[in-house]
A and B are shown apart, each in its own frame.
Chain A
Amino acid sequence: MKEKRKGPLSRAAGIAEGMAATVRRMQREREPRVLVYDPAGYARLVQPEARGHDRIMEVAEEMLTLVAGRE
């Protein structure tokens, strides 16, 4: 079957969509969150309302503050 030929406008739109998706993914990855990984490498999210979530965040923030203070 012959491949459908795309024009320059639809190609540009495709690139823009890809870039927007990348930016959204990067923003999502940087949102505050706690992930734990089991020995097989499977990730599990510690829900923000879960017990202990806030304390984990606090400890991590203390670590970051400590390092930032040294730089």
Chain B
Amino acid sequence: MVDTLTPERAAERLRGLSADVRAAVLLDAAGSPAGASDDDHDHGHELAELARRLFEEVDRATRDWDTDPPEQVEVQIPGGAVFASRTPSWTLAAVARRGALSSLMLYDLRAVLRELEGGPPIRRSAAAEDHAAAGPATEEHAAEELPMPELGADRPERA
């Protein structure tokens, strides 16, 4: 059965997707914290408040631009980076390690929000699922999956 993602688990889900995420927080449409990767309640609230302020400042800085309101933001700072993504219903923000790949971080943020809004869950590839079912990987298994047949393997032996 497919496990439905709840707001409470969304931040932790993001952290599970990317090892570069140090902490994450989810806010609802009103800007209230809906979930955090940190167990500490006060800490999660403080991070949520900062995430709310981040988009507030972004909206203030870009209000005169002749574009749609930004959906995602990336802030590179010495020692790390902050990424945030929003939909009309949710805002998900993450503090990441220095060197985290922006494109991957932004993709993961969007994927978690999409899953939260009823989109298909992010799943391991079928090949990875098969591997898990078959047990630990071995050289024999790897050899069986070679895409190219061994040269001359099915050639009839000469007399």
Interface residues of chain A, those whose CB is within 8 Å of chain B, are 26, 29-39, 43-44, 46, 50-53, 55-57, 59-64, 66-68, 70-71
Contact = CB atoms under 8 A, between A and B. Distances in A.
Given A29-B102, A37-B106, A64 B68 contact: no
The secondary-structure label for the interface of chain B is mixed
B62 to A, nearest CB: 6
A29 B22 CA distance: 19
B46 A66 contact: yes
Interface in B64-108: 65, 67-68, 70-82, 93, 95, 98-99, 102, 106
A35 B72 CA distance: 8
19 contacts: A31-B76, A34-B61, A35-B74, A37-B72, A38-B70, A44-B70, A46-B58, A46-B62, A50-B61, A51-B60, A51-B61, A55-B57, A56-B57, A56-B58, A60-B54, A63-B93, A64-B95, A67-B95, A70-B40
A56 B75 contact: yes
B68 A39 contact: yes
What are the nearest 8 A-B pairs in CB distance?
Answer: A52-B61, A36-B70, A60-B75, A37-B72, A60-B82, A67-B95, A35-B74, A67-B23
Nearest to A28: B76
Nearest to B78: A32
Contacts of B80: 64, 67-68
A34 to B, nearest CB: 5
Interface residues of B, number: 38
A34 B75 CA distance: 5
B43 A66 contact: yes
Interface centre among B46, B71, B82 (most CB of A within 10 A): B82
A52 B46 CA distance: 21
Interface centre among B57, B93, B98 (most CB of A within 10 A): B57
A50 B57 CA distance: 12
A56 B58 CA distance: 7
A33 B76 contact: yes
B73 A26 contact: no
A36 B62 contact: yes
